[in-house]
A and B are shown apart, each in its own frame.
Chain A
Amino acid sequence: MSVHLNKNSICVVIGASHAGVNLAFSLRKEGWQGAILLFDKDPEIPYHRPPLSKTYLSSDEGTNLLKSVESYEKDNISLNLGISVSSINRTDKTITLNDGTIQAYDKLVIATGARPIIPPIPGIETAAHVYPMRTVEDVAHIRKALHKSLNKRVVIIGGGYIGLETAASIKKLGGRVTVLERETRILARVTAPEMSNFFMQLHTENGVEMLPNKNVIAIENTKGVNTVVCADGTQYEADIIIVGVGIRVNSELAKEAGLVIENGILVDETARTNDQNIYAIGDCTFHFNPHYNRHVRLESVQNAVDQAKVAAAAICERHPIYDAIPWFWSDQYDVKLQMVGLYEGYNETLIRKEDGESNKFSIWYFKDDTLLAVDAINNAKAYVLGTKFIKDASKIDKSKLMDASIPFKPGDLLI
């Protein structure tokens, strides 16, 4: 009998965030008859992560659950929270939990995600109110510290999306925000200079002090007040410090179990690792993207959800192939950024501005005649059009694309 049709089969999922939870529900949908056990060290009922730096930080709305508690009961998915996994034992097909309990599996899914990097800056360990931005607990700490702080001076180390979204939210809460970015421009690792300039201006207009070229070399703490010291000698006082300098993949369990790691857990087009009974999904994976003809590691909800669906189908012996076009979004103030595709390797950017609307434009990344990616500001139409063009590998008439008088319809923009 196929493993997925056997009522005694057990699928263990390590990690219960976007990837793990979607895997569990998809697995039921695909007809998995046996047990499904989710484990996560986060004690909270699994929640949407993107709002943490946005509405969850800036309002009193509370968390947005991925699935209601009743949904897990209804689909007979066992949610085991506040529990970490200490090892995977491939020969016995078991995992060991931190309390020593051994749990057997027939299929194992690793959805361990990533954790924020805390850079080894001298003094960071002893500084007051230093927080990353990854979990509900982090946000709770930041909100509490901000509430208690008289001066509400917040220094954000890192001008990436997390740092910028956090800056916008804290501004909304009445904080005084300084963003320190090590590179010569913000968002340097993820977007074109034009987009960096746009966000630089947006945040400056909203009263955030935006400072590129600031390499933090030390944090001094005197009487509970932090002083952030940069390599150029400048210093910034901070009641709260938020660190948003990137993530590190949680691949240790997989590595210790002898799975192949290459910039993340290496998986095939069905999200399977080099062990036929072990799959890996989401932020922690290094996988092949057929559209871009290379292996990638992505930090996104889209990748977590789509890879989860593929892995669930594969475990239930269908033959899916993961070939999604990556997409992302970011909300800051009243600006909505939507991104599709992967821009690495571009040699030309075209900017389409819509008539009369300064906050509505899109950046199109090309490698010669091939469209690689689109970043759309307050312009969902550009985003969906870009998605279609990338998917279809369409040849675009660049001069028409740049001409805002030509309607934004697929047929009007192709060669």
Chain B
Amino acid sequence: MAKITFITRDNETIILEGTSGSVMQLAVDNGVPGIDGDCGGVCSCATCHVHVDVGHHLKTGEATEIETDMLELNDYANERSRLCCQIQISDAIDGIVLQVAESD
């Protein structure tokens, strides 16, 4: 079980709990605004872009090459960027805070 906090573009805090699947799916299932997941979680659309809060990125790990490449020209991408369809829910990420990134 992992507790995951989303901070939306409107600064609303949404706390969700999950046990499996991707963080994107959890967000979509619970209607977190700004996380669309249009491609269903295969890193093709970049509509699930989040910034991992400082101090939590060790839990989520680094972005993979395809994530970095998909965000290569995104004005809102930074070193804490992840596409959250690529973050799997497990006990290891309990307590992470994710900021929904602005979109172009």
Contact = CB atoms under 8 A, between A and B. Distances in A.
Contact of A71 (B29, B41, B66): B29
A67 B28 contact: yes
Contact of A51 (B29, B40, B71, B72): B40
B29 A68 contact: yes
Interface in A372-407: 379-381, 383-385, 387-388
Nearest to A381: B69
B84 to A, nearest CB: 15
A255 B69 CA distance: 44
B92 interface: no
A90 B71 CA distance: 45
Q: How large is the interface on A (under 10, 10 to 19, 20 to 34, 35 or more residues)?
A: 20 to 34
Interface in A280-327: 301-302, 305, 327
B30 interface: yes
A234 to B, nearest CB: 36
B31 interface: yes
Nearest to A378: B66
Interface of B: prevailing SS: loop
B39 A50 contact: yes
B77 to A, nearest CB: 11
A50 B29 contact: no
A301 B43 CA distance: 14
A336 B66 contact: yes
Interface residues of B, number: 21
A410 interface: yes
B72 A381 contact: yes
Interface of A: prevailing SS: helix
A143 interface: no
Interface in B4-37: 25, 28-31, 36
Contacts of B69: 379-381, 383-384
Contact of A301 (B38, B41, B70, B71): B38
A64 interface: yes
Interface in B35-60: 36, 38-45
B70 A384 contact: yes
A267 to B, nearest CB: 20
Contact of A74 (B25, B31, B42): B31
Contacts of B70: 380, 383-384
B29 A384 contact: no
Nearest to A376: B69
A11 to B, nearest CB: 19
Interface string A337-380: 01000000000000000000000000000000000000000011
A414 to B, nearest CB: 13
Contacts of A338: 44
B38 A70 contact: no
A383 B45 CA distance: 11
A385 B66 contact: no
Contacts of A40: none
B1 to A, nearest CB: 18
Interface in B60-92: 65-66, 69-73
Task: For the complex of A and B, list the 7 residue pairs with the smallest distance between their C-beta atoms, beginning with the closest.
Answer: A380-B69, A48-B40, A68-B29, A329-B44, A381-B69, A380-B70, A380-B66
Interface of A: 48, 50-51, 64-65, 67-68, 70-71, 74-75, 301-302, 305, 327, 329, 331, 336, 338, 379-381, 383-385, 387-388, 410
17 contacts: A50-B42, A64-B41, A67-B29, A71-B29, A71-B31, A327-B44, A329-B44, A331-B42, A338-B44, A379-B69, A380-B69, A380-B70, A380-B72, A383-B70, A384-B70, A384-B72, A387-B73
Given A70-B30, A331-B42, A381-B69, 6 more contacts: A68-B30, A74-B31, A380-B43, A380-B70, A380-B72, A383-B69
